[in-house]
Amino acid sequence: MNSEQLFEKSKKYVPGGVHSPVRSFKGLHCVPRFINHADGAMTWDEEGKSYVDFCMSFGPLIHGHQDRDVKKAIIEALDRGWSYGACEKYSLELAEYMIDRLCFVDQVRFMNSGTEAVMTAVRLARGITGRAKIMKFNGCYHGHLDAMLIKAGSGLAGEADASSKGVTPLQASDTLIVELGDLNAVEECFKAHPGQIAAIFIEPLPANNGLLIQTTEYLQGLRNLCDKYGSLLVFDEVISGFRVHFGGMACLTGVHPDLVTYGKIIGGGMPVGAVCGKRAHMEFLAPVGPVYQAGTLSGNPVAMAAGLANMKKLTPEAYQRLDQQSEAIVKLLNEFSQSHGFEDYNTYRFGSLFWAVPTKNKLTNITQIPENLSSRFYDLFKTLLTKGIYLAPNAWEVGFVSLAHDEKILAEMRKRLWS
């Protein structure tokens, strides 16, 4: 079967034919590509067409598909058994490797997804502070838990509404929304809800509604306001953690959160999530503390082995090479845009993350994003897909460069783009 036939069949058995909405190609006027296999920087669909892949499983494959060292670790882990429901040393090895290299945290609790990590961090922040409300920012994404599927409302500072059916008004009322980049609005929200806000949650590098780069001064301002009003600062580094720097934005900027959530890279492509923090905060979690969290597959030994192998290869030299490759790829995409009818587009990056957007301005706030983003993206996406360049099928998603996007792939890209 080809992708079109498989998608029609899938819609019979799966809502919308997909297990995650962003895979649906909704609004792109074509069907999703069903991937048959992948290797390095390339994927192949069921029709046998190859693509230079910049989705990279939405981030975890920083060494590319089927990295040989990660694959070896997975196979060895499978040979030992793939789920125990008991204590094992493999999660301990990954925990030790992470904590020894992250100067601002003492402990980690593993789980199975970024959403689960944020869900745990929300409950933990509330348990530590005894407060109910949390503050988040318009344009930051923190998974699909009820507390985070919230959009800005109108009226009082931070007032919010649910952005998904199934989220109750009561749940929405405990999440407060402010715009990125405005410290005065954050303080106004604190003053409007005195003694009620448990934590501020932020992607220190917002990368799910475009790439909205924040300044170190702004992040430090949030740190200062949390200290002033007795709230926790929580960094969601599910995307940026171990990608822009081994220690993520927390180490890159020197602004240290009270709690941080991770995912993606720490599992090497296997399902994973994690919450990290100081011992005094983390030991509020059961079984030593009153905040309950559990998971049948938490700390899965295969994911732990894959993650450790993935992270051991992230040397300073690897990050330097990744940065150089990312710069070359973004330069090539911008050359293509200027010579193929997309002159209004600019592809810009932070580390190995990039975003193509129809404006020459670097954006820091979701309200600055052009209204024609989605309609313009269709033309770019279809053009690149036809040429065998695969971006995430959504105008708001960033692209991911891996260490497998080397000079050979760059040459292949140039050939495809100008063919």
Conformation bin of residue 406: beta by default, left when phi > 0, alpha when psi is -120 to 50: beta
Conformation bin of residue 389: beta by default, left when phi > 0, alpha when psi is -120 to 50: beta
272-299: b or e for each residue (b if 16 or more CB lie within 10 Å)? bbbbbbeeebbebbeeeeebebeeebbb
Q: What is the DSSP letter of 367?
A: G
* Phi, psi values for residue 399, rounded to 5°: -100, 155
Distance CA 12, CA 161 (A): 33
Which residue matches tokens 């933990």?
A: 124
Classify 259 as helix, strand or coil.
strand
Distance CA 139, CA 116 (A): 20
Distance CA 72, CA 68 (A): 6
81-108: b or e for each residue (b if 16 or more CB lie within 10 Å)? eeeeeeebebbeebbeebeeebebbebb
Distance CA 134, CA 201 (A): 7
**Catalytic machinery residues:** 141, 236, 264
Distance CA 109, CA 98 (A): 11
C-alpha 390, offset from chain centre: 18
